[in-house]
């Protein structure tokens, strides 16, 4: 199975990278109550060939949010995954990001 990266290239799905991404967002949380590998397992079960990294991020966030009823800290993981996904799609320069967004939305 392949995943389509943000730059358009494809690579084999690496389950350890998915698990590491989710685990990285669990900093400061008590792993007695939250299990990043539980979220990663659910994400892996939802993967289809040709899935994009954006879709993987969304899938991870949604699966984490689905576990909120077991412990509220899963909402923190879901939020962190969503925020870091947004950071990947925007420029590190605030002015560039704003100008890009304005140009996309404003008709010429």
Q: Which residue has the tokens 């892996």?
A: 44
Return the higher-pLDDT residue of 8 and 89: 8
Domain extents in the chain: 2-105
For residue 92, what pLDDT is reported?
Answer: 85
Q: Cα(10)–Cα(52) distance, rounded to whole angstroms?
A: 9
Q: Compute the distance between CA of residue 17 and CA of residue 40 in angstroms, rounded to an integer.
A: 10
Assess contact for 49 and 1: CB atoms under 8 A. yes
pLDDT band, residue 4 (cuts 50/70/90): very high
Alpha-carbon distance of 55 to 67, in angstroms, equals 19
- pLDDT single digits (tens) 37-48: 999 999 999 999
The confidence score (pLDDT) of residue 107 equals 58
Helix (H) or strand (E) run with residue 104 in it = helix 94-105
Provide the whole-model pTM.
Answer: 0.83
């Amino acid at each position: 199975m392949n995943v389509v990266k943000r730059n358009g290239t494809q690579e084999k799905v690496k389950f350890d990278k998915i698990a590491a991404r989710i685990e990285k967002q669990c900093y400061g949380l008590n792993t007695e109550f939250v299990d990043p590998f539980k979220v990663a397992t659910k994400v892996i079960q939802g993967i289809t060939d040709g899935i994009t990294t954006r879709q993987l991020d969304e899938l991870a966030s949604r699966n984490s949010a689905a576990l909120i009823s077991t412990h509220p800290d899963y909402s923190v993981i879901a939020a962190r995954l969503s925020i870091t996904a947004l950071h990947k799609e925007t420029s590190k320069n605030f002015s560039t990001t704003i100008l890009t967004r304005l140009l996309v939305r404003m008709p010429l």
